[in-house]
Amino acid sequence: MSAATKLTKLKRHEDQRHGALSAVVALVQMDPHARADLIVYLKALNEAQAAKDVQEQEYLLKAILEIMEVDGPEDGPDLAGWEAEAKATVAGRRAAQELAGETQRFFAVYQRLKAQSGLDTIRKVARAAGLSPTTVQAIEKQRVKPQFRTLQALAKGFKVDAGVLNR
């Protein structure tokens, strides 16, 4: 064995020892609640390994890593800032444009059906659709095309097929 190989092996061995020592120190210094959480995850990891569920193992490993992280929470943007972050790239802008087009089409049909059906207030739409007025108000005010389940309820209120609102 060459001197370089010997040194490499020694270094690897020292790194492993150092890693193990750091992990033990982290465990000793850890907040007792965090240690209890860690036990929950280790038990779940055993079960996931026995079940050979790779996806769950990945999830649990991420959770374990998070417990071991030392950096605390930091301030972040609210939803508007978060959305702006998501739209900052070319792909993000393209996705946003597609979604905006879809939302625009939905509202065009929604307003037409609302006028045609004589359901001229939020309360009337909500009652006919079996939704809460808050939900209908939120959809109209925020201009959000709702998820399909809500869309089906609206279609029922307007007495049309859900596909009419989902183009």
Cα(39)–Cα(53) distance, rounded to whole angstroms? 19
Q: Quick check: 132 binds other proteins (CB under 8 A)?
A: yes
The minimum distance between CB 4 and other proteins, in angstroms, equals: 39
Phi-psi region of 63 (alpha: psi -120 to 50; beta: other; left: phi over 0): alpha
Burial class (CB in 10 A: 0-12, 13-18, 19+), 135: middle
Please pick, from the candidates 9, 35, 62, 123, the single residue that binds other proteins as defined by CB under 8 A: 62
What sign has the CA pseudo-torsion 76, 78, 83, 88? negative
The minimum distance between CB 69 and other proteins, in angstroms, equals: 9
Please pick, from the candidates 32, 73, 118, 163, the single residue that binds other proteins as defined by CB under 8 A: 73
Q: Which of 107, 96, 117 is nearest to 166 (CA)?
A: 107
Q: Quick check: 116 binds other proteins (CB under 8 A)?
A: no
Please pick, from the candidates 10, 17, 23, 98, the single residue that binds other proteins as defined by CB under 8 A: 98
Binding mask 147-166 for other proteins (x = CB under 8 A): xxxx--x-------------
| 52 versus 141: smaller Cβ distance to other proteins | 141
